[in-house]
């Protein structure tokens, strides 16, 4: 809260409000309706750094990457009309993946609203289904309160994206500026109070379980519950599997980490879901990629759900005991009352499944018998040669699933990916945002040849800012995941999935980014060493099998018990 009231323009109020919220970096693209804010930014460059992206979608994904690794609110700015609508994909991605983000858009003058003025679009109406909250501001005096409310809503409870649309006349107007942070909104309860009775009930169920099983999601990361979660699983001795958004909440090689859930997750975590007697879901939402056919999902188990959002309780899976609240608090309380235990026979079943998977899928991926390189062997090599705190950002597709299974994540908040929306093009700008948030950590962007070309223009942002990002393209000359489905379920009718790609090295060098291409296995190890140790950004393209498939796999509509290894 500032102590002095000062009369300033609405546009300057936007900038000073962001600074009051401790924002140091914003990602954006200027235009007519937001130009007053950009003019105000000019005088605050030392306090508030603006990074010019090459497309507004890139601004949202950069803000997401920034938020995901820092735990702070990501901020992006765009103009009205096409600038605002170009934000929508990233906003929708942030909404379903619970990423805190504040988007500020310019709008035409208030007297022109509804007249179809040049670059007028109802971005509030368009974004309403994919934001946690949005608002249109038409008066300068409402700017600071709107932004204060936006930050509070974006970060509190279950995080999400918020949009503030500001008319041009509000930006030009004058206001007595006195910023007051928002800490309370009537009728808005960000985190329900933990019911201790439910904690006791959950502990009683866990203490008598013979085959308990933990499924953990991003809620553990969002709650900053690293110590509490680890203490709980280690005291209870319960095997734990992760959703793709929960990855990096627990180190991959922890003895109780049994692997990845979901359609392309590990064999044991899926199969044994239907053998546990108590299922403990922590900060995850039972989406269809995890559950498969709900009619055949964990019907034998009593479900305990630790969740901050009441809307997720019983939405997809019926819960025996719902423990509402922030899981940092509920896990600490639960750990105090659960009995110390181990489940060696139950854990052995997971290990047996892991061994079976390694003998089939793992051998094909990690030690291929052909001359053609696999995605798995490339990722394993990068993992072995990377530092423990390397941040790995993935796009969407086969490479995403392979990376999350074969990369050994050892540090907190080092996995950044598009989960619920599955947005191709997410990776490159998100990796940039992650690097801005954590400049002293290595950032590796793992991308397919298809997704790379969706936001390839952000190489310009990387070049202009001299960011040090390692870009790994796993090139199979196909839209790989779609092609896999066409092979398995559409009689190999490869309709519009084969890619005729440009020369990625030439493009990278046009942006003054060093690049290399590997086509033979004997060249891979040295290429990866150079890639990771190069000072400055570097692009490494590795040619992998064109028709390699990603297994295990749970087919759409199938039960998790029907997971395929081939």
Rounded CA-CA distance 483/72 in Å is: 37
Element (DSSP H or E) covering residue 134:
strand 133-137
User: Is 35 noted as a catalytic residue in this protein?
Assistant: no
Task: Return the closest-CA partner of residue 199 out of 338, 340, 314.
Answer: 338
User: Is 56 noted as a catalytic residue in this protein?
Assistant: yes
- Calculate the CA dihedral of residues 22, 24, 28, 34 and round it to 10 degrees: 60
Task: Return the closest-CA partner of residue 130 out of 75, 84, 68, 88.
Answer: 88
Residues 6+ apart with CB under 8 A from 539: 471, 473, 504, 505, 508, 513, 514, 515, 516
- The answer to whether 387 touches 409, Cβ cutoff 8 Å, is no
Rounded CA-CA distance 79/168 in Å is: 10
User: Is 245 noted as a catalytic residue in this protein?
Assistant: no
- The answer to whether 433 touches 64, Cβ cutoff 8 Å, is yes
Task: Return the closest-CA partner of residue 121 out of 213, 56, 190, 39.
Answer: 56
Residues 6+ apart with CB under 8 A from 227: none
> Of the listed 481, 486, 499, 541, which one is catalytic?
481
> Of the listed 35, 72, 119, 349, which one is catalytic?
119
- What are residue 395's DSSP bridge partners? none
User: Is 481 noted as a catalytic residue in this protein?
Assistant: yes
Where b means 16+ CB within 10 Å and e means fewer, 180-202 reads eebeeeeeeebbbebbeebbebb
- Which sign, positive or negative, has the C-alpha torsion 458, 464, 468, 474? positive
> Of the listed 56, 312, 329, 377, which one is catalytic?
56
Angle, helix 10-20 to helix 143-155, in steps of 10 degrees: 30
> Of the listed 118, 172, 489, 490, which one is catalytic?
118
Write the DSSP symbol of residue 502.
-
Residues 6+ apart with CB under 8 A from 50: 25, 26, 27, 28, 38, 41, 77
Strands 101-107 and 49-52: unpaired
Torsion region of 62: left, alpha or beta (phi above 0 gives left; psi -120 to 50 gives alpha): alpha
- The answer to whether 280 touches 213, Cβ cutoff 8 Å, is yes
User: Is 119 noted as a catalytic residue in this protein?
Assistant: yes
Rounded CA-CA distance 447/137 in Å is: 39
> Of the listed 16, 168, 198, 302, which one is catalytic?
168
Rounded CA-CA distance 443/430 in Å is: 10
Residues 6+ apart with CB under 8 A from 46: none
Q: What is the CA radius of gyration of the chain?
A: 24
Catalytic residues: 56, 118-119, 168, 481
């Amino acid at each position: 809260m500032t102590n002095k009231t000062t009369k300033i323009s609405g546009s300057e109020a936007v900038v000073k409000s962001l600074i009051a919220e401790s924002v140091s970096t914003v990602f954006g693209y200027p235009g007519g309706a937001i130009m007053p804010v950009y003019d105000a930014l000019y005088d605050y460059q030392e306090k508030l750094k603006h990074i010019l992206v090459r497309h507004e979608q890139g601004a949202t994904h950069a803000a997401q990457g920034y938020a995901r690794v820092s735990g702070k609110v990501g901020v992006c700015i765009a103009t009205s009309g096409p600038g605002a609508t170009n934000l929508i994909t990233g906003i929708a991605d942030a909404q379903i993946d619970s990423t805190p983000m504040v988007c500020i858009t310019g709008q035409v003058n208030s007297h022109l609203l509804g007249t179809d003025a040049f670059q007028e679009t109802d971005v509030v109406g368009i974004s309403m289904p994919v934001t946690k909250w949005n608002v249109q501001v038409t008066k300068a005096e409402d700017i600071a309160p709107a932004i204060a409310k936006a930050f509070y809503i974006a970060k509190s409870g279950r995080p999400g994206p918020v949009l503030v649309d500001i008319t041009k006349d509000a930006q030009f107007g004058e206001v007595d500026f006195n910023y007051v942070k928002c800490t309370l909104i009537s009728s808005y309860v960000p985190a329900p109070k933990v019911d201790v009775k439910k904690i006791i009930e959950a502990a009683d169920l866990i203490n008598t379980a013979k085959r308990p099983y933990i499924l953990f999601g991003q809620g553990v990361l969002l709650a900053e519950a690293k110590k509490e979660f680890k203490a709980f699983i280690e005291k209870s001795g319960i095997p734990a599997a992760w959703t793709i958004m929960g990855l990096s909440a627990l180190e991959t090689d922890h003895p109780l980490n049994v692997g990845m859930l979901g359609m392309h997750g590990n064999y044991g975590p899926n199969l044994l879901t239907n053998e546990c007697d108590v299922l403990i879901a922590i900060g995850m939402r039972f989406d269809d990629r995890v559950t498969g056919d709900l009619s055949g999902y964990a019907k034998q188990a009593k479900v305990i759900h630790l969740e901050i959002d009441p809307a997720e309780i019983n939405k997809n899976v019926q819960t025996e005991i719902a423990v509402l609240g922030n899981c940092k608090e509920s896990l600490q309380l639960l750990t105090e009352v659960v009995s110390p235990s181990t489940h060696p026979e139950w854990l052995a079943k997971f290990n047996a499944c892991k061994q079976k998977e390694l003998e089939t899928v793992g051998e094909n991926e990690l030690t291929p018998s052909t001359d053609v390189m696999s995605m798995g062997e490339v990722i394993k090599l990068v993992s072995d040669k990377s530092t423990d705190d390397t941040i790995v950002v993935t796009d969407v597709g086969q490479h995403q699933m392979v990376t999350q299974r074969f990369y050994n994540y050892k540090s907190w908040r080092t996995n950044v990916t598009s989960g619920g929306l599955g947005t191709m093009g997410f990776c490159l700008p998100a990796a940039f945002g992650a690097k801005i948030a954590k400049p002293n950590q290595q950032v590796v962007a793992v991308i397919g040849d298809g997704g790379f070309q969706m936001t390839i223009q952000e190489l310009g942002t990387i070049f202009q800012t001299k960011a040090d990002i390692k870009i790994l393209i796993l090139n199979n000359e196909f839209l790989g995941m779609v092609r896999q489905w066409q092979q398995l379920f559409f009689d190999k009718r490869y309709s519009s999935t084969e890619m005729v790609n440009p020369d990625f090295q030439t493009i990278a060098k046009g942006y003054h980014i060093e690049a290399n291409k590997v086509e033979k296995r004997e060249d891979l190890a040295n290429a990866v060493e150079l890639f990771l140790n190069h000072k400055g950004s570097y692009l490494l393209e590795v040619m992998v099998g064109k028709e390699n498939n990603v297994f295990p796999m749970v087919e759409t509509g199938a039960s998790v018990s029907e997971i395929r290894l081939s």
